[in-house]
Amino acid sequence: MMNWFANLPNFSAYGTPVYFIYLLIAILPLGIGIYFGKRLSWYEALVSFVFIFFMFDGQDWQQAISLIVYIIYQTCLVMWYVHYRQQNNNSLVFYCTTFLSLLPIIIVKFTPAMVGHNSLLGFLGISYLTFRAAGTIIETRDGAVKDINWWKFIRFMAFMPTITSGPIDRYRRFSKDYRKVPSREKYLKMLEKAVMYLFIGFIYKFIIDYFFAQQWLPYVEQQAMSHAPHLSWWVVAVAYVYSGDLYFDFAGYSLFAVAISYIMGVETPMNFNKPFLSKNIKEFWNRWHMTLSFWFRDYIFMRFVFMATKKHWFKNRNVLSSLAYMINMVVMGFWHGVTWYYILYGFLHGAALCTNDWWLRYKRKHFKNLKSTKLTKFIAGFITFNFVVFSFLIFCGFLNTLWFNPSAMK
């Protein structure tokens, strides 16, 4: 049985143009149903199952089993807490439940650092599903979510267009979208946007990123490694080319996920908004991987600030906000993985957010007459862009290979 499963063809989400042909044909009946005011839930469930199946079959069959077990685990945990919250609201129970929801991703992220290999619990997309599940528990504690049907929660967790790499939706927003079928006029506008997003996504992922990922990045990495372990101007080239690869690949994928969601009648939130045009690092995080950034902002940064303010831990609110930035971004670094470069990446962005706030306070006090002009905006944008590119060089792990494992690139 497992041999048969392992020999099946595997289709990664949005990996090839052929994938889109199959997908668009499969969801065409869904679009027709929504156009005529009816959501074909049973057919959507069937299509989602088939495409998720082919994402995790073949050599990824162990991930498929992990995914099934994981969704059952999270569903039981969330349903239990929803039932508990209707009668009680003990803080310790809430924290324990949230920890249990986060436990699988903690195990997955720490296992490579502790034992030297990936955890069997891991599967593609576990981080994004964990954010959905933990966020639902937090919203239930807050009273924003009062009642959840187990099947609706599974449908939310396993929403096919976004299951592997987001964007990260929230149960309250998703269920509100799903409860009602958009009007014909609104759905036609959604389809118009979907076509545009698909077109831009194709340009990003299959044309522009082809040059960044397939043509330029291997070349500049090879040139940089020829000088290993010393730094060279080729390392600078790696930083800029990798930043382009990361953006166009991920932004293209996110546009595909949003477009398919729109065709299925769900307005999944956008993930990118011209991040490299940001004038400061705070604006960057309001434009880059927005659903992740906002999740950390709402559920870590804001809650820490609220709790610390309520308990009077700090007299100086600037110290409080700076510490909250550092905690928020370092946790984000650990979320990417337990390696020095991910953690340093988070630390640098936390420090940059603190520095940005300090500069704004200093400017208001000492440069009250300093006006915002095209020149000052350009300088601010230039500094922000180059800081982000430098941080991506650390994030990608190339320096780890350059300095500590140069044979890995040969």
Mean pLDDT of the chain: 91
**pLDDT reading at 166 higher than 90:** no
- Active-site hit among 230, 312, 336, 349: 336
pLDDT tens per residue, range 214-248: 999 999 999 999 988 888 999 999 999 999 999 99
For the question of residue 336 being annotated catalytic, the response is yes
Q: What pLDDT is attached to residue 146? A: 84
Determine the average pLDDT of the residues in 97-125. Answer: 86
pLDDT tens per residue, range 126-151: 999 999 999 999 999 998 888 888 99
Q: Predicted confidence band at 285 (pLDDT cuts at 50, 70, 90)?
A: very high
pLDDT tens per residue, range 288-339: 999 999 999 999 999 999 999 988 898 889 999 999 999 999 999 999 989 9
Determine the average pLDDT of the residues in 168-187. Answer: 91
**pLDDT reading at 152 higher than 60:** yes
**pLDDT reading at 6 higher than 60:** no
Q: What pLDDT is attached to residue 77? A: 97
**pLDDT reading at 163 higher than 60:** yes
**pLDDT reading at 188 higher than 90:** yes
Q: What pLDDT is attached to residue 222? A: 95
**pLDDT reading at 183 higher than 70:** yes
Q: CA 307 to CA 294: how far, in whole Å?
A: 18
Report the share of the chain in percent with pLDDT over 70: 96
**pLDDT reading at 4 higher than 70:** no
Q: What pLDDT is attached to residue 253? A: 94
Q: CA 3 to CA 145: how far, in whole Å?
A: 43
pLDDT tens per residue, range 85-108: 999 999 999 999 999 999 999 999
What does the domain layout of the chain look like in residue ranges?
A: 1-178, 182-272, 274-409
Nearest to 302 by CA among 146, 155, 138: 138
Q: What pLDDT is attached to residue 407? A: 65
In the chain, how long is the greatest CA-to-CA distance? 74
Whole-structure pTM value:
0.92
**pLDDT reading at 276 higher than 80:** yes
Report the share of the chain in percent with pLDDT over 90: 70
